[in-house]
Amino acid sequence: MWLSRLSVSNCRIVADTGLELAQHANVLFGDNASGKSSLLEALAVLSRGRSFRTPRIADLIRRGASELTVSAKVENGIAGDSYPIGISKTSQDTRIRINHADVQQQAELSSHLPLTLIHPGSVELVTGSPALRRAFLDWIAFYRFADFNQAWRNYQRILRQRNACLRDPGQRYALPQWTEQLLALQPVLYRYRVQALQALQADLQISVALLEGAGMPHLQLGSGFPGSVDAEDVESLRHFFHDKREQELKQGFSLYGAHRADLHILLEGIPATRVASRGQLKLLAVSLLLAQSHAAAETDTKRGIIAIDDLASELDETNLQALYNTLRMTQQQLIITGTHPDPLRQRFADARLFHVKHGQASQQ
Ligand SMILES: Nc1ncnc2c1ncn2[C@@H]1O[C@H](COP(=O)(O)OP(=O)(O)OP(=O)(O)O)[C@@H](O)[C@H]1O
Ligand SMILES: [Mg+2]
């Protein structure tokens, strides 16, 4: 899929603007504070329900306005076959529409818009908490496997119930039942993640030029259990939970399982954060994100969107060139921001240029 139009109203500085996007490369340029990142935040709201800069919707809604709206036209690859999607948010409520019908779940909207966002904070994918890497891997599983989302939602529900049993002596009687349900889902989620990881590792090949300095990372999935425990063997999980019962009761929440998984990023066997330079960590994060976008679909014809905010920051000239070259090869739709149009215009001859000024985007 790709987006042929993006319309945004009341998102930060953006009062009301629309962009007729090109199928491959789009460049948004403009001065500082003109609204480039705000437009990408709006796109993030459409794809994920929230921004990459703040968890609070109230921060995004333009001062003086009460509702932010983002809509887009999705082209599904077959000529002339397109449909509208949209989301409106107040600080309390969300309204979602897909092809003129009301929809309740953000996940349903998300499934129409596989957006990978790369921004200056993306390095945290490598340096930050395991939760970011779990979400990163689960994003692939969400797009690749139709049943993943339901399994993950069930898991969250069971986990909440089980934690209540661990915390509250009054509910303790139900602990065995919730433990049984929690362990039954471990192999399911583990397998989805193993498959997502295999796709990711294969698609890292696209970023091979970017990884020349740091080297190709080895990615390892931590299951959320100690290494000696087989997350696919329900019987041994049952023993494990039995052994850890006292410890979990003492803590009052579930200490082990898919919600504690991590993706270990190793360079020659050592965690990347311990050996790589700041620039290399950033390149690793960018490489992983580019691979993520490609890993979302099993076939190359099913495309996604890659949005890059502030492409040039922190990369030296050689790596910037490597990144441009990698981006030129991808089939994904690109939306790239920068303060100056020239470097981007030179690299992407076919790019559609938009000048962003006071929150208005005008095609050049
Ligand atoms: N809720 C809001 N309502 C109105 N304006 C806002 C709101 N939140 C932020 N702003 C303003 O919107 C502007 C948008 O900045 P944005 O980050 O989109 O700019 P940018 O073009 O990405 O700039 P840079 O090149 O510096 O990254 C800023 O001046 C900011 O003060
Ligand atoms: Mg910006």
Quick one: pLDDT at residue 50? 94
Confidence of residue 301 (pLDDT cuts 50, 70, 90): low
Domain span at residue 105 reads 1-114+305-321+334-364
Residue 157 belongs to some domain of the structure: no
Residue 82 belongs to some domain of the structure: yes
Q: What is the mean pLDDT of residues 150-162?
A: 97
**Domain harbouring 30, CATH code:** 3.40.50.300
Residue 90 belongs to some domain of the structure: yes
Q: What is the mean pLDDT of residues 270-286?
A: 94
Quick one: pLDDT at residue 274? 96
Residue 309 belongs to some domain of the structure: yes
38 lines ligand 1 (CB under 6 A): yes
Confidence of residue 184 (pLDDT cuts 50, 70, 90): very high
Q: What is the mean pLDDT of residues 321-328?
A: 89
Residue 200 belongs to some domain of the structure: no
Q: What is the average pLDDT value for the chain, to the nearest integer?
A: 94
Residue 138 belongs to some domain of the structure: no
Quick one: pLDDT at residue 300? 61
How are strands ordered across the β-sheet holding 262-267? Answer: 218-222, 262-267, 270-271
33 lines ligand 1 (CB under 6 A): yes
Residue 152 belongs to some domain of the structure: no
Quick one: pLDDT at residue 79? 67
pLDDT at 11 over 80: yes
> In the chain, how many domains are there?
1
CA 228-231-234 angle, 5° bins: 110
Tell me the CA–centroid distance for residue 35 and ligand 1, in Å: 5
Residue 109 belongs to some domain of the structure: yes
Residue with CA at minimum distance from ligand 1 atom 24: 32
Q: What is the mean pLDDT of residues 223-232?
A: 95
**Helix 175-203 crosses helix 130-144 at what angle (to 10 degrees)?**
80
pLDDT at 99 over 70: yes
CA distances from 28 to 31, 70, 343 (A): 10, 17, 12
* Tens digit of each residue's pLDDT (9 = 90 or more) over 21-71: 999 999 999 999 999 999 999 999 999 999 999 999 999 999 999 999 999
Q: What is the mean pLDDT of residues 193-202?
A: 97
pLDDT at 311 over 80: no
Q: What is the mean pLDDT of residues 195-216?
A: 93
Which helix (H) or strand (E) segment is 265 a member of? strand 262-267
Q: Which atom of ligand 1 sits closest to the CA of residue 41?
A: 18
pLDDT at 248 over 90: yes
* Cα(331)–Cα(114) distance, integer angstroms: 14
pLDDT at 302 over 80: no
Residue with CA at minimum distance from ligand 1 atom 15: 33
Q: What is the mean pLDDT of residues 131-139?
A: 97
| Cβ atoms within 10 Å, residue 109 | 22
119 lines ligand 1 (CB under 6 A): no
